[in-house]
Amino acid sequence: MHEAITLETLDFLLSERGAAVLATLKPDDLHDRAILSTLTRLRRTCSPQEAAAAMTLARLRLRGRAKFSRADVMFFTEEALQQASGETISRYRARRYAAFGRVADLGCGIGGDTIGLAAASHEVIAVDRDLLRARLARANVRVLGLGERVHVVCADLRQQPWGTDAAFIDPSRRVEGRRVFSVYEMEPPLADILALRRWMPHMGVKVHPGVEDLGLPSDCEVEFISENGTCKEAVLWFGDLSTGVPRRATLLPGGHTLAWEEVEPVPVGPPGAYLYEPDPAVIRAHVVEHLAWQIGAHKLDEEIAYLTGDRAVQTPFARCYPIWEALPFNLKELNRRLRALGVGSVIVKKRGSAVDPEAFRRRLKTVPGGRPAVVILTQAADRPIMLICGEAL
């Protein structure tokens, strides 16, 4: 149903009649089991295309609540919602532009970052070459009361200077349906984007959080942004928008940040009393060693992003697990120890192990009604080990 929202059906959804139809749709009408009956009811007063569009948008608005506090009045398509920056991230990112009164949001999509910038009192030139997305962006800033600060243009972002010194650029990271991780496979590619710096020297460029390190410009800051424990985005910052560090991990909603700097190598040693699992943004930003020095921990293995220590240190940058036992990898011994420890349920995590966690978990023998545990399969000094841990502190 994600193709139901087109330029034609968007006209209907934006009309008074479309708004009235949308107002009749309740959450119970949107369950899979209710789709047929709901569509049948809507088709009494709507065309099949209008009914499908209304149903699609109502369901997308429910999903959109995970990203936008006012999703119930916004307009989306399936793919555009997936790709849109959420409210928490866009508002955080807008703070970088505090020195600029006017900002271009190039590749604006449905307007996620446009909304964040406009909410921070910036005047925004929002540009997207897809007419449907440009119209969705215009509709979204209007319903959120931000229309006077935003001018939406349907054009190729490379087409002309946009009359601003600063820009946020969100190129497409899908080519022929596949995700691309190289900045030179994006559309437009990074080379074309960097050419815009002669007009807009201060820019942020959104890239895939799994962006390949090879080929990144040396004069930018790369910020990896995690929200609630998931690394969701990465941004290349140029000009005055860069803070002058090569890499940074930022954790939202708290706004905790850890910047890269020269540090001594962290020693490798045996498991201590606690295991630390760094946030994915910390790993992507290559600041695991910085975290280790900050919390007084060491590595289990030179190549594995787990840390360990004898003290439990509260840090937003990692989850801390008490280690009950550390053993060489052996399934039979693990099952014996799980029963001896009275473990009833297990979460299996891994890093540096070829084992499938879910398939491995099904082979574990536990005690009915026993206490929960976390089993971590990893390496210590190049040897496979298993750690039986309590739940995260």
- Provide the token pair at 74: 């916004």
| Adjacent-strand bridge partners of 388 | 325, 375
Residue 129 has a pLDDT of 95
pLDDT tens column, 331-365: 999 999 999 999 999 999 999 999 999 999 999 99
Which has more pLDDT, 4 or 389? Answer: 389
Q: At a CB cut-off of 8 Å and minimum separation 6, what does 18 contact?
A: 12, 50, 54
- How do 298-299 and 343-350 pair as beta strands? unpaired
First to last CA, the chain: 43
Query: Residues in the chain, how many?
Result: 393
5-15: b (≥16 Cβ within 10 Å) or e: beeebbebbbe
Q: What is the pLDDT of residues 182-239, one digit of tens each?
A: 888 889 999 999 999 999 999 999 998 988 777 788 899 999 999 999 999 999 999 9
Q: Are 35 and 47 in contact (CB under 8 A)?
A: no
Please, which pLDDT band fits residue 177 given cuts at 50, 70 and 90?
Answer: confident
- Residue 178's pLDDT is 80
For the purposes of burial, counting CB atoms within 10 Å of the CB of 79, is it exposed (0-12), middle (13-18) or buried (19 or more)? Answer: middle
What's residue 1's pLDDT? 42
Kindly tell me if the per-residue pLDDT of 64 is higher than 60.
yes
Model confidence over 309-328: pLDDT tens digits? Answer: 999 999 999 999 999 999 99
DSSP for 133-182 reads HHHHHHHHHHHTT-GGGEEEEES-TTSS--S-SEEEE--B-EETTEE--S
- Find the mean pLDDT for residues 374-390: 95
Among 341, 323, 325, 327, residue whose Cα is nearest residue 392: 323
pLDDT for position 347: 97
The pLDDT of residue 185: 85
Name 22's Cβ contacts closer than 8 Å, sequence gap at least 6: 13, 54, 57, 58
pLDDT band, very low/low/confident/very high, at 305 (cuts 50, 70, 90)? very high
Mean pLDDT score of the chain: 94
Residue 320's beta-bridge partner residues?
276
Measured distance CA(117)–CA(115) in Å, rounded: 6
The Cα angle at residue 225 between residues 232 and 133, in degrees rounded to 5: 55
Element (H, E) at 104: strand 102-106
And the tokens for 210? 């799994």
Token representation of residue 104: 């271009």
Whether 2 has a pLDDT exceeding 70, the answer reads no
Nearest to 176 by CA among 192, 187, 163, 162: 187
What DSSP line would sit under 279-338, residue for residue?
-HHHHHTT-HHHHHHHHT-EESSTTS--EEESS----TTEEEEEEEEEEES-HHHHHHHH
**SS3 call for 247:** strand
pLDDT on residue 374: 98
Q: Taking a C-beta distance cutoff of 8 angstroms, is the pair 383, 370 a contact? A: no
* 262: helix, strand or coil: coil
Q: Are the beta carbons of 296 and 265 closer than 8 angstroms?
A: no
Q: pLDDT tens, 100-140?
A: 999 999 999 999 999 999 999 999 999 999 999 999 999 99
